[in-house]
Amino acid sequence: MTEGADRVTSTAPSAAMAPVPYRVRSRVVESPDAATLCLEPLDAVLPAPQPGEFMMLYAFGVGEAAISISGDPTVTDGSITHTIRAVGAVSRALHGAQPGTLIGVRGPFGTTWGLDEAAERDLVMVAGGVGLCPLRPAILGALANRTRYGRLMLVVGARSKADFLFAAQLEKWADDPHIELHLTVDVPVQDWRGEVGLVTEPLRRLALRPDRTTAFLCGPEPMLRFGAAALLAKGVAARDIRVSLERNMQCGVGWCGHCQLGPLLVCRDGPVVGYDVAGPLLRVKEL
Ligand SMILES: Cc1cc2nc3c(=O)[nH]c(=O)nc-3n(C[C@H](O)[C@H](O)[C@H](O)COP(=O)(O)OP(=O)(O)OC[C@H]3O[C@@H](n4cnc5c(N)ncnc54)[C@H](O)[C@@H]3O)c2cc1C
Ligand code: FES
């Protein structure tokens, strides 16, 4: 069973609204529109984020956006890693930030994937597009404590081969006996020998032990719904399917109401929520 894993940070509410300056230490281009930034503190160090949590990143003079952590949770040097896809003004500014650029950081905020609660169980992780970013710390955390878990299965979908994030790491995982990797693309290209289609296809073929399986899903909402439906059809309980939700965020601390989804404030009650709670809400059109 994987119940909510809210973590109370040591940050007081008013302090949580004040961005702390971090500097871009390194920038790695991941795909045509995504880049990974490693940020290091200038002075004050924020509490280390846990897999699933997000930070509010402020591009000075442009604005703020919620961005999940995507780095290795076993790295404890005070740095924070984020992978950002450029879709609008703020994410474009963050995505383009070069080493040395100052970024304002608030957080960490939100709920975690609940890796501790999933100990002893099989893990199925399903990512669509940039949905792999919030899942990466959970994958690396599980691999670092591999004996704590049963099978570790990862299903990743991308628009095309060029859109897979963390390509070098995916190649390594493909040869790693500790993880079962399934990749699929929407658009095949000549040198793609893998699967073509939605993530639900490899997911449907997985032989699972449903009462011993915990699933983590992150990606576009239709992917969450169809992915969860495939897992439910295999007998996995809705509460053991944890999905990461996205809503427009402003304060990040449950004050402004911008991220409301039915009875939930996604910044406070999410982003990671059990499908027993998220499922009925995601089925309501334009909630
Ligand atoms: C909890 C949480 C975690 C997140 N983690 C990440 C992350 O790790 N990496 C990351 O790149 N983004 C992440 N996001 C999404 C990110 O916050 C938004 O992409 C960003 O706020 C967009 O702001 P903007 O000003 O650049 O674009 P806006 O001006 O707000 O939007 C520009 C255009 O892009 C569209 N758009 C906005 N967001 C998205 C989106 N997510 N996908 C596709 N189209 C979009 C809008 O509809 C609009 O048409 C996360 C969001 C949440 C709530
Ligand atoms: S972003 Fe303000 S309440 Fe969630």
Chain segment 38-47, per-residue pLDDT in tens: 999 999 999 9
- Which domain-ending residue is among 59, 74, 109? 109
Of 202, 199, 239, which is closest to residue 222 (Cα–Cα)?
A: 199
User: Which single residue is written with the structure tokens 């081969």?
Assistant: 161
Print burial letters for 206-244: b (CB count within 10 Å at least 16), e (below 16): bebeeeebbbbbbbeeebbbbbbbbbbebebbeebbbbb
Residues with a CB atom less than 6 Å from ligand 1: 54, 65-68, 70, 83-85, 87-91, 130, 133-134, 246-247, 249, 271
Residues 113 and 178: their CA atoms lie apart, in Å, by 20
Q: Which residue intervals of 1-131 are DSSP H helices? A: 13-16, 89-95
Known binder of ligand: residue 267?
A: yes
What gap in Å lies between CA 267 and CA 53, rounded to an integer? 9
Q: For residue 66, give both structure tokens.
A: 């919620």
Chain-centre distance for alpha carbon 11: 22
Q: How many domains does the chain have?
A: 2
* Domain encompassing residue 80: 20-109
Residues 125 and 99 in one domain: no
State pLDDT tens for residues 193-238.
888 999 999 999 999 999 999 999 999 999 999 999 999 999 999 9
pLDDT 10s digits, 67-93: 999 999 999 999 999 999 999 999 999
**Atom 17 of ligand 1 has which residue's CA nearest to it?**
66
Mutate to test the pocket of ligand 1, among 38, 82, 91, 272 (most ligand atoms within 8 A of CB): 91
* Paired sense of beta strands 241-244 and 272-274, if any: antiparallel
Would you say 133 and 165 are in contact if contact means Cβ atoms under 8 Å apart?
yes
Pocket test for ligand 1, best of 29, 38, 246 (most atoms within 8 A of CB): 246
- The CATH number of the domain holding residue 157 is 3.40.50.80
- Is 284 contained in some domain? no
Q: Which of 57, 88, 109 is the last residue of a domain?
A: 109
| Residue 164 belongs to a domain | yes
Residue 192 predicted with pLDDT over 90: no
51: its two tokens: 């897999």
259 marked as part of a ligand binding site: yes
User: What is the Cα–Cα distance from 287 to 285, expressed in whole angstroms?
Assistant: 6
Tokens found for residue 55 = 């930070």
235 close to 218: Cβ distance less than 8 angstroms:
no
Same domain membership, residue 203 and residue 129: yes
Q: What stretches of 197-240 adopt beta strand conformation (E)? A: 213-218
* Res 241 pLDDT > 90: yes
Ligand 2 atom closest to Cα of 265? 4
Q: Which residue of 256, 261, 269, 273 sits with most ligand 2 atoms within 8 Å of its CB, as the best mutation to test the pocket?
A: 256
Q: Residue 254 CA: which ligand 2 atom is closest?
A: 3
